[in-house]
Amino acid sequence: MSDALSSLHIFNSLSGKKELFRAIEDNHVGIYVCGPTVYSNVHLGNCRTFISFDLVYRYLRHLGYSVRYVRNITDAGHLEHDADDGEDRISKKARLERIEPMEVVQRYTVDFHQTLAAFNTLPPSIEPTATGHIIEQIEIVKGIIANGLGYEVNGSVYFDVQKYNSTKHYGVLSGRKLEDMIHNTRSLSGQSDKRSPQDFALWKKAEPQHIMRWPSPWGDGFPGWHLECTAMSTKYLGEQFDIHGGGMDLKFPHHECEIAQCEALNQKSPANTWMHANMLTLNGKKMAKSTGNNILPNELFNGSNPVLSKAFSPDAARFFMLQAHYRSILDLSSDALEAAEKGYKRLIQGIELLPDLPTSNESSVDINAHIDTYYAAMNDDFNSPVLIAQLFETVKLVHLLKKGEETLTAADVEKLSNSVHEFVFDVLGLTLATKEKDNTYLDKALSVLIDLREQARANKDFSTADRIRDELLAKGIQLKDGKDGTTYGLST
């Protein structure tokens, strides 16, 4: 474990390379992950991001770190265009449905929690809300103004990007240059209060029709979208912490603006390591509600979306997502989900054989080296697909042990069993729920077919007996005749 603890490498978006991870404080890790804007049902792309960081959280805890995992809820201040114009998404939803904004927030926060619970993600250590930290956000705006990098116009406060860029690099995370951004941007209209198109809002004046509003030194208004994460990450993790994460789409402008705000306020970048999870596509195309190329989690679980051949369990969907590295684009399709479901069941079936493996006086396999491959995979930037491949190597080993072609001592069998359970259930976060649910009915149905087959064999009706066996095999279920009777398993 100590070797694993000292050899974890993480791809840092800030440097563009894998770096050896070193916690700021020994044995303690602070992680901040940008959470959802709760104005609609959480979509699968978001779920992939949170499952990816659930894997990070789980593995760091497995390594023995004390982890403070902070993930916010954006319940105010997020405008339609992720910029400084348009309507607040939550206020717009409330106006359309003629309900209070906090009813919108409550409804979709509950949906978010229920969906992530279905995917067996661990809750964060702290889940702060934007509206619960208005005072902190106002204080940050005051500090940025006092440091000469914020300016107020007509009740709104903006961040002066060009002035900041004169001593710092605005674009350090995304690799952009301000000169190029200016060159590719149209001039401001005479109606804009900004000095430059690249400037972003720290505080926005609330127009009379704006529902969500708070008093401030600059008049009634609401915080800019980027501000809340700076306020909450630094409050709960300090001015500098270990890991900041989110979806790839947040790298610019959201995370870029966070860095600028912290540099302007505290003269230091907030996080040592920046991690970004890539997107989930559907049938090779970007998911979008407007085009209909979209699946909600509940549609995945109940099979109600026409692009799916059937319903898929949360475990199968989680396994599918973890079969791809978090930094790679993952395409979701019915065929891919079916393949993942079969793989997941085959893995669980192999794991269930571990307690009954025969033991020997000697081991023909170096079990410590075998287990080390699990750590090597996860220490290489949380490489879950390689870990899963190694776990399937374990399943192969299990079958060889069962046949007597390899041997392990009782101590090594116990060590292997414990490690496999830790990595499958504690690190990958998979469960046995689906198999238990499936077997409740599958066992009953197959016991009837096995009895009918036995009757046919007793009556020398071998054609019927063979037909039952062959048709079940075609459906992926293999009957196995032994001295203690007939059992079944998934064909591989």
Residue 336 lies in a domain: no
Q: Give the separation between CA 122 and CA 57, rounded to whole angstroms.
A: 8
Neighbouring residues of 301: CB distance < 8 A, sequence distance ≥ 6: 118, 311, 312, 313, 314, 317
Of 412, 431, 450, the residue at which a domain comes to its end is 431
* Residue in the structure block whose two tokens are 């959280």: 57
Residue 434: the pLDDT is 47
According to DSSP, the residues that pair with 288 across neighbouring strands are 293
Same domain, 38 and 80: yes
Residues 491 and 473: their CA atoms lie apart, in Å, by 7
Residue 127 shares a structural domain with residue 87: yes
Q: Is 373 within a domain?
A: yes
Classify residue 141: in a domain, yes or no.
Answer: yes
The arithmetic mean of pLDDT across residues 175-192, rounded, is 77
pLDDT of residue 436: 45
Q: 85, 86, 90, 134: which is closest to 109 by C-alpha?
A: 90
Specify the number of domains making up the chain. 3
What is the structure's pLDDT at 292? 72
Q: Do residues 442 and 392 share a domain? A: no
What are the tens digits of pLDDT across the range 290-301?
677 788 999 999
Which one of 242, 277, 312 terminates a domain?
277
Q: Is residue 163 part of a domain?
A: yes
Please indicate, yes or no, if residue 321 is contained in any of the structural domains. no
* Residue 293 burial by Cβ neighbours in a 10 Å radius (0-12, 13-18, 19+): middle
Percent of the chain with pLDDT over 70: 91
Q: What is the mean pLDDT of the chain?
A: 91
**Domain presence at residue 391:** yes
Instruction: Over range 266-281, report the average pLDDT.
Output: 97
- Please indicate, yes or no, whether residues 158 and 209 belong to a single structural domain of this protein: yes
Q: At what angle do helices 334-351 and 433-458 cross, to 10 degrees?
A: 80
Q: Residue 162: which pLDDT band, with cuts at 50, 70 and 90?
A: very high
Q: Are residues 440 and 426 in the same domain?
A: no
Q: Are residues 181 and 39 in the same domain?
A: yes
Q: How far apart are alpha carbons 461 and 453 in whole angstroms? A: 9
Whether 72 and 220 share a structural domain: yes
> Is 126's pLDDT higher than 60?
yes
Whether residue 290 is contained in a domain is answered as no
Domain co-membership, 156 together with 254: yes
Q: Are 284 and 49 in contact (CB under 8 A)?
A: no
pLDDT in tens, 51-71: 999 999 999 999 999 999 999
For residues 206 and 263, give the distance between their C-alpha atoms in angstroms, rounded to a whole number.
27
Give the model confidence (pLDDT) of 100-111 as tens digits.
888 989 999 999
Which residue range(s) make up the domain with 360? 352-431
Instruction: Report the C-alpha gap between 299 and 221 in whole angstroms.
Output: 38
Query: Does residue 338 form part of some domain?
Result: no
CA distances from 277 to 179, 187, 377, 378, 432 (A): 28, 33, 18, 16, 26
Q: Do 147 and 91 sit in the same domain of this protein?
A: yes
217 and 130 share a domain? yes
The residue from 277, 302, 336 where one domain ends is 277
Judgement on whether residues 398 and 449 belong to the same structural domain of the protein:
no
Q: Coil, strand, or helix at residue 349?
A: helix
Within this chain, do residues 74 and 140 fall inside the same structural domain, yes or no?
yes
